[in-house]
Amino acid sequence: MHLFDIDIPNKITFKESEVLSAGDQLTVFEYNGVKVGLGICYDLRFPEMAHLMAKEGCSLLIYPGAFNMTTGPKHWELLGRARATDQQLYVALVSPARDLAAGYVAWGHSSLLDPWGAVLHQLDHRPGTLLADIDLTTVEEVRSQIPIRAQRRTDIYDTVQKS
């Protein structure tokens, strides 16, 4: 949905908009009775998008992504935990392993974050498989114990889907 156009001098400059077009709709699907929202990479930085997918009933957000060696160590896990905590759901971050010979070097560290914002599982930069069960009662538990969904001041602010 969001194109990765950034410029961090002497570190990384990227302009996805030169070669890609942005998506224009949310992707939400049901799998085994679980509503899942899908974002790609840079989308992880946009809490409004995660919020709209949560509003559509998602209990799990999946972000395939390849953060880089500058932003990866600083933001990959932090943003995953932030989205999980904000929306009180599971977040799966799925990265390619690191290949130092590649033109674009990925941070790696595929992760599973729980609705408390805790890191349940995390791989390192090497190839690996992460297989985990998720307990959906934790989503309901956190949402009832910390009821921010009902406490939003929609009389003052709101996040709405336009198309």
Ligand X SMILES: NC(=O)CCC(=O)C(=O)O
Residue whose CB is less far from ligand X, 27 or 138: 27
Taking the complex as a whole, how short is the minimal distance between the CB of residue 19 and ligand X, in angstroms?
11
Does 67 help bind ligand X (rule: CB under 6 A)?
yes
Among 36, 37, 39, 41, binds ligand X (CB under 6 A): 41
Does 45 help bind ligand X (rule: CB under 6 A)?
yes
Taking the complex as a whole, how short is the minimal distance between the CB of residue 49 and ligand X, in angstroms?
13
Nearby residues of 50 by Cβ (< 8 Å), 6 or more positions away: 37, 39, 61, 83, 86, 87
Does 110 help bind ligand X (rule: CB under 6 A)?
no
Does 95 help bind ligand X (rule: CB under 6 A)?
no
Among 59, 68, 95, 110, binds ligand X (CB under 6 A): 68
Does 63 help bind ligand X (rule: CB under 6 A)?
no
SS in 3 state form for 84-126? HHHHCCEEEEECCCCCCCCCCCCCCCCEEECCCCCEEEECCCC
Among 54, 61, 62, 71, binds ligand X (CB under 6 A): 71
**Phi and psi of 30, rounded to 5°?**
-110, 135
Q: Which two tokens stand for residue 162?
A: 């336009």
* DSSP-based three-state secondary structure for 33: coil
* Tokens 């560290």 belong to residue: 109
Does 82 help bind ligand X (rule: CB under 6 A)?
no
Does 42 help bind ligand X (rule: CB under 6 A)?
yes
Cβ atoms of 59 and 89 closer than 8 Å: yes
Which residues bind to ligand X, rule: CB under 6 A?
4, 41-42, 45, 66-68, 71, 75
